[in-house]
Structure formats: C-alpha cells, structure tokens
Amino acid sequence: MNLISREELKSKLDRGDDFKLVMVLGGWAYEMAHIPGSITFGTPEEGLQNLSKDDEIVVYCSNPTCIASIAAYNILVQRGYQHVKRYAGGIEDWQAAGLPVEGTIAG
C-alpha cells in the first residue's frame, strides 16, 4: 500500500498540487468535518465514474484503523488506477496536529 504522511499531504495542499483528495466516509461525515480541498462521493461507483485513471488520488477516512480508506485504495488499484495513495492518519490525525478542517463542527 502506497502511503502518504500528514506532512507530505500538507505540502501538496500548500503547493496547490493537482490531485484529488477523497474522503471516503459517508456524506454526513464529510459535512461534519473534512480536510479543506477534499471531495466525497455518495457511492464507490460514483467515485469510479468521476475519477480518471490518470488522476493522482489520495484517499482518507477517520483514523489509521478505519477500513474505508483501505477498501477504497484497494478498489482503485484493482481497477487500474495508477497513482493512488492512502493518508492512513485520516481526519483524526489531521485535527490532532492542529491543522484546519471544514464542516459543521470545524472551528
């Protein structure tokens, strides 16, 4: 599994790199709190329809033990997506570092 650290992810966001940051939890979780610049999809099928196999994609969910980002990573790789990384720390790690989030509980 190709992982990306919090520091690497923050640097990519700060530089404005062209990549898709995908929160793979449900829409309700996304509405509560997500990393700025993230997108989400209602279903895995919707994600597959809206992501290109050429995209650089970073998936994340809530924390290192959350299986949603592991499953999303594996599905993308199995479907031939070449540039996929998993931010294992998830929103929990991001917030613990004092980094900004967006959503109804942000702030």
- Max CA-CA distance within the chain? 38
Options 24, 61, 88, 91, the catalytic residue: 61
* Nearest partner of 35 among 23, 50, 19, judged by Cα: 23
Provide the pLDDT for residue 26.
86
11-96 sits in which CATH class?
A: alpha beta
Taking only the tens place, the pLDDT of each residue in 10-24 is 999 999 999 999 999
* Domain limits, the chain: 11-96
107 — pLDDT class (breaks 50, 70, 90): low
Taking only the tens place, the pLDDT of each residue in 45-100 is 999 999 999 999 999 999 999 999 999 999 999 999 999 999 999 999 999 999 99
Q: Within 13 Å, how many C-alpha atoms sit on residue 66's CB side?
A: 22
106 — pLDDT class (breaks 50, 70, 90): low
Q: In the beta sheet, which residues pair with residue 85?
A: 58
The yes-or-no answer on residue 61 being catalytic is yes
pTM confidence score: 0.95
